[in-house]
Amino acid sequence: MSTRSFRAPGRVNLIGGQVDYHEGWVVSLAIDREIRVDAKVRDDGRVIATSTTFDGAVDVAADGTDDPRAVRPDWGRAVAGVAGALADLGRAAVGGELAFSSNLPVGAGLSSSAAFGVACALALCDTAGLALPPRQLALAAQRAEHLAAGVPCGVQDPMTSVCGRAGQAVFLDCRTLEVVHIPIPKEVGVLVVHSGIARTLEGSPYAARRADTEAVATSLGLRVLRDATFDQVRDLPRGRHAVTEMQRVREFASALESNDIGSLGPLMLASHASSRDDMQVSTAELDALVECLMDAGAYGARLTGAGFGGCVVAIGPSEEMDSIAHGAIQRYRARTGLEPTAWRVHAAAGAGRVT
């Protein structure tokens, strides 16, 4: 079998933070930064992986029996996790040689780990002749991340990577996994700015914050907070964030569909405030970056991803995004002494084979 190439985009979460694991709704973009992998079959039952981003070669069993936590180098845990998740779905123990490359920054909150898992799953499915429907592919990548990192991540990241569409946002119902694609108005630009502080879920308070919200659901006799009312969580900050954030997401999706651009920014700002105050997943630097982006002319901005560092996403007039980026960077650098990095991003197609 000849070498074949696959790609999986990162994602930016426009709105809908910390609600996917409560079966809520989110609006995200698959972005034009991605992880690629070149793959070919090996006949020795081993998966050998290399990366232009990470050092060292990975060597794991193709049958998924290696414990991801024992794999070295550390980045190879993700490969072992994918092998294990796919083995559970019936993938034959066919070896593979995988070569990864990326223009997606790590630790930025742009779902590099989910994109890696999706790209790896596509490649390993192909080498073994296993065809998975999109939802099952995304769920396999989610399961692989649970196995590899021990982090209870939600489903929005791999679903967005798999189901993205050029020029359109992904409005995802995390209960039914139904996807609605909504065009991004041409006059609206999307900017991602890295705070200069790397973010990693592993070792962060992410799992603790999730546990807090799950405890709220349990105290209300509910499985997830999607089924809670505002009156039930009015005085419970973690629960209040989840319930109000889900409402904001639905309003944001409706505003996008009706081209009500004026409503988008305030909803993003309210989302950030709730993430900061009720979920307590923001940082002083992320808060400052949001303020700097607004001062530079953005319509709205919020932390993206799980928080605790990484990136802020902003929207604004499409023709002014370069000047907004420049102004925000200058303000933020002067205010914090940190060096931010900005990327103009566009909604991209979902994962697949590169032809």
Distance CA 200, CA 51 (A): 19
Q: What are the contacts of 140-144 at 24+ separation with CB within 8 A?
A: 140/82, 140/85, 140/86, 140/89, 141/82, 141/85, 141/114, 141/117, 142/114, 142/117, 143/81, 143/85, 143/88, 144/78, 144/81, 144/82, 144/84, 144/85, 144/86, 144/117, 144/120
Cβ–Cβ under 8 Å, residues 89 and 1: no
Contact 11, 111 (CB under 8 A): yes
Please, which residues have CB within 8 angstroms of residue 287's CB and are 6 or more apart in sequence? 272, 276
Active site residue 88: no
- Catalytic residue (one of 157, 227, 231, 287): 157
Instruction: Give the distance between the most distant pair of CA atoms in the chain.
Output: 60
Q: Which residues pair with 59 in a beta bridge?
A: 48
What residues does 46 pair with on adjacent strands?
A: 61
Task: Please list the active-site residues.
Answer: 157
